């Protein structure tokens, strides 16, 4: 649809695994498109929490989602787990752009790819601020 | 982020309203990014079901989501309802591209805008097929 | 299963309506059992918020769910809305027991009935406390 | 609340693990009560699918949820995984009653316990039928 090639496992830097749930599948017997974003969101936040070593929700600046998208190449669904590969495309002054590849089973080609844009805002005033240094240190190793 | 201007109510053709749920809000006290896609998805499918006048899930060709995205401009959340405006950007041979504006409260500017790409596949073989005529008739009036 | 008769519309005191979502239906084409609890939860919390006239999540004592259940009598699902009737069965020192009837369409018999037990805890210490007077005033009129 | 003692790990027969998701937590920073039922549901269905060795959704008789409940003892939430213990309390002619203990971290006491009642219905007529022999064989070893 977009002309971008279908991503493969080698495109990603770090990996997580998520279990699937019966309720993930909609009436068509595959994972509902909204559910993918629960996984995409988790892949990013788990990495940040582990790399920062604390509760990122308590930092003075929090990452809010400015834009997110997903391209779907092949059906996935309950009951097998999903492998999630994470790579950072861009680190700006106040935003980070991630791509998250979702895989189910052994194939090398992604079943779906999410693109996720975090913008950092002050936890109280909600105005846009610079990426906290702890976050910058956590995402820099995810560039390729 | 994308350079596209923030959409307003006048950009959309038909409207639906969705109630929000306590569980829509995540730990930040606003609607979780994945939840928007439950609304976007519903706005499209309710229109199709009503315009076609039957259960679109039983048609020989079904629309599966090839790509979806959302830009977030302003927080929304429980408990107020969400107004969803729908417009069709493109009708191809086998795909339809929708934009869905989400509004909460009286403002004229969208709180978020989704972009939703349906591709039609055969309900059994799952190969890409032409848009069924009933669907084409249902979406043509949504162009501006 | 429990010997309790199937409830009817006359069993409830106040009413709310919730819209359904495409993603509510699971692979069996009906609302997934977990989704009912999103509606049950919302019926209670919307009533409290409106009766209290403010954000109940900011009160010094918050209601947390100690126990919840649902009996399913008839399938419901997307796309029709759900009518939710609310009644209070019991008001204790620190807990409130609600029943929530879910109806879809015109029938007099509930499609499902939830039972929902809120226990009040201090928002900071998380120890059990007395029901705040504002909440007590909000739920007393829901007794039959 | 019910007088039943708080269950411990030794009360359950088989175990599964589920990952948690960022969106599982609601505004109170703990797993929303409805989300537990996504895990409870999955614990039962994954066991059945593996024990039966096929897609239980395609059997002539399917298990639909007649009644479900959960008692909450301690908060759980994102990001740690959840251990789910499964035990069968009752096997009738057409129904199976499960209890599912949810644990997070090392403690021996359950954070929550679900009770889940499946009733078997004909996949087409939706009338109540006897438990299929394959299902009976799959759940009998879960009795204590």
Neighbouring CB atoms inside 10 A of C116's CB total 26
- pLDDT tens by residue, B65-95: 999 999 999 999 999 999 999 999 999 999 9
Query: How confident is the model at residue A3, as a pLDDT?
Result: 53
Of B23, B29, B34, the CB nearest to D32: B23
Q: Indicate yes or no: CB of A1 within 8 angstroms of CB of B67.
A: yes
Spell out which residues of chain D touch residue C21, defining contact as CB-CB under 8 Å: none
Question: How close D39 comes to chain A (CA, Å)?
Answer: 7
Average confidence (pLDDT) over B49-60 = 81
Each residue's pLDDT tens digit, A19-47:
999 999 999 899 999 999 999 999 999 99
B57 has pLDDT over 80: no
Q: Which domains does chain D show, CATH number per domain?
A: 9-142 (3.10.129.10)
Closest CA to D120 of D94, D97, D90, D91: D94
The C-alpha R_g of chain D, in whole angstroms, comes to 15
Subunits next to B (3 or more Cβ pairs <8 Å) are A, C, D
* Residue ranges of chain D whose pLDDT lies below 70: 1-3
Reply yes or no: is the peptide bond before residue D116 cis, omega within 30 of 0.
Answer: no
> What is the distance in angstroms between the Cα of A86 and the nearest Cα belonging to chain D?
16
> The sheet that has D14-18: what strands, in order across it?
C14-18, C82-91, C95-103, C112-122, C61-72, D61-72, D112-122, D95-103, D82-91, D14-18
B71 lies within 8 A of chain A by CB: yes
Q: Read off the pLDDT band of C3 (50, 70, 90).
A: low
Distance CA D5, CA B47 (A): 50
Query: Given strand A95-103, what is the order of strands in its sheet?
Result: A14-18, A82-91, A95-103, A112-122, A61-72, B61-72, B112-122, B95-103, B82-91, B14-18
User: Cβ neighbours of residue C106 under 8 Å, at least 6 residues apart?
Assistant: none
Partners of B98 on chain A (C-beta within 8 Å) are none
Q: Residue B68, exposed/middle/buried by CB under 10 A (0-12, 13-18, 19+)?
A: buried
Q: What percent of chain B has pLDDT over 90?
A: 83
- A64 in contact with chain D, both atoms CB, cutoff 8 A: no
Please give the pLDDT value at position C73.
Answer: 96
C-alpha distance from B55 to closest chain C C-alpha (Å)? 10
Answer yes or no: do B42 and C22 touch at CB < 8 A: yes
Percent of chain D with pLDDT over 90: 83
The first and second tokens of residue A43, run together, are 């892949």
Disruptive mutation site among D67, D95, D120 for chain C (greatest number of C CBs within 10 Å): D67
Bridge partners, residue A112, by sequence: A72, A102
- Angle among Cα B62, B65, B67 to the nearest 5 degrees reads 150
pLDDT single digits (tens) A67-116: 999 999 999 999 999 999 999 999 999 999 999 999 999 999 999 999 99
Average pLDDT estimate for C71-99: 97
- Whole-number pLDDT of residue B123: 85
Strands B112-122 and C82-91: unpaired
Give the chains touching D; criterion: ≥3 Cβ pairs < 8 Å.
A, B, C
The verdict on a CB contact (< 8 Å) between B23 and C46 is: no
* Closest partner CB to D33 (pick from C28, C41, C95): C41
Its pTM stands at 0.94
Closest-CA residue of D relative to A41 is D22
Q: Do C23 and A35 touch (CB under 8 A)?
A: yes
| Interchain contact, C72 vs D57, CB within 8 Å | no
CB contact under 8 A, B2 and A67: yes
Q: ipTM more than 0.90?
A: yes
Residues of chain B in contact with residue C68, where contact means CB-CB under 8 angstroms, are none
pLDDT, position D2: 47
Rounded Cα gap, residues A144 and D22, in angstroms: 26
Task: Answer for the pair D57, D50: CB distance below 8 angstroms, yes or no.
Answer: no
The pLDDT of residue B3 is 54
Chain A residues with CB-CB distance to D23 below 8 A: 38, 41-42
In the predicted structure, residue B129 carries a pLDDT above the cut 70: yes
- Least CB–CB distance from C21: residue in B38, B78, B79: B38
d(CA B103, CA B81): 9
Residue C28 in contact with partner chain B when CB distance is under 8 A: no
């Amino acid at each position: 649809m977009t002309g971008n090639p279908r991503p493969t496992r080698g495109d990603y830097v770090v990996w997580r695994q998520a279990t699937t749930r019966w309720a993930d599948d909609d009436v068509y017997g595959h994972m509902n498109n909204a559910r993918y974003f629960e996984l995409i969101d988790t892949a990013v936040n788990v990495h940040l929490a582990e790399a920062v070593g604390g509760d990122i929700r308590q930092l003075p600046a929090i990452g809010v989602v400015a834009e997110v998208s997903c391209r779907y190449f092949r059906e996935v669904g309950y009951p097998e787990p999903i492998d999630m590969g994470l790579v950072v495309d861009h680190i700006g002054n106040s935003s980070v752009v991630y791509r998250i590849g979702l895989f189910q089973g052994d194939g090398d080609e992604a079943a779906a790819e999410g693109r996720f844009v975090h913008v950092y805002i002050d936890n109280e005033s909600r105005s846009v601020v610079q990426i906290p240094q702890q976050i910058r240190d956590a995402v820099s190793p995810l560039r390729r």
